[in-house]
Chain A
Amino acid sequence: GAGVSQTPSNKVTEKGKYVELRCDPISGHTALYWYRQSLGQGPEFLIYFQGTGAADDSGLPNDRFFAVRPEGSVSTLKIQRTERGDSAVYLCASSLDVEPYNEQFFGPGTRLTVL
């Protein structure tokens, strides 16, 4: 079946611009996660949705970052006033979120480059 998809696969933008990154989770998965990965590092947690609500946004680095999941499926990560330090691969994952098992299925990521 279809896995997690993310669009666009690559995004190049200029410093100060606004960007939106989209994630389509696996159908039926109630949990959705955003991570970002800088070169040479492991992925870093940003935010977790259970259904439509953000259950944990403790990883968002500042108020320029915002994410929504209005209908409990597709999610959009929004970054305002982008900075060069925002350049990274942004990964989305989804899971069934049932105890005691937590297998997160990751998408291929969106590579964001801020010039």
Chain B
Amino acid sequence: DAKTTQPTSMDCAEGRAANLPCNHSTISGNEYVYWYRQIHSQGPQYIIHGLKNNETNEMASLIITEDRKSSTLILPHATLRDTAVYYCIVLINGGATNKLIFGTGTLLAVQP
């Protein structure tokens, strides 16, 4: 599975959009981009995933560049409860295990 690079930490003002970048320059054509987040003392929580088209759900939007070498997770109106570590993961859907390879993620701190 391809490796990902994320900033260690980011700040965002409450009510503003949070834009979390991820580089995955070695991504393969059949690898999806997944985002999970982990709020303190809880298990990780799925947010969104995509292959090459931009995706949106009730939690966030995922923007994937045309060359698929990077992506951005957008939380449109960040709240204090969005403070968490955000993990960008690439993996093959329907692969042998679908195991998630977590990096160290980005600690997003939403400020009041």
Chain B residues whose C-beta falls within 8 Å of the C-beta of A33 in the assembled complex: 99-100
Q: B59 → chain A, closest Cβ, in Å?
A: 12
Known: A102-B34, A106-B44, A107-B43. A56 touches B99 (CB 8 A): yes
Is A26 interfacial (CB 8 A cutoff)? no
Which residues of chain B (11-53) have a CB below 8 Å from chain A?
Answer: 32, 34, 41-46, 49
Shortest CB distance A39–B (Å): 12
Residue A99 is within 8 A (CB to CB) of chain B in the complex: yes
Question: Is A41 interfacial (CB-CB < 8 Å)?
Answer: yes
Interface-side segment among B60-68, B76-84, B89-97: B89-97
Q: How far is the CB of B17 from chain A (nearest CB, A)?
A: 24
A: which residues have CB within 8 A of B? 4, 31, 33, 35, 40-45, 48, 55-56, 59, 91, 93, 95, 97, 99-109
Given A33-B99, A43-B102, A104-B44, 18 other A-B contacts at CB below 8 A? Answer: A31-B98, A33-B100, A35-B102, A42-B85, A44-B102, A45-B100, A48-B98, A55-B96, A59-B99, A93-B43, A93-B44, A100-B93, A100-B94, A102-B34, A102-B93, A102-B98, A103-B49, A105-B46
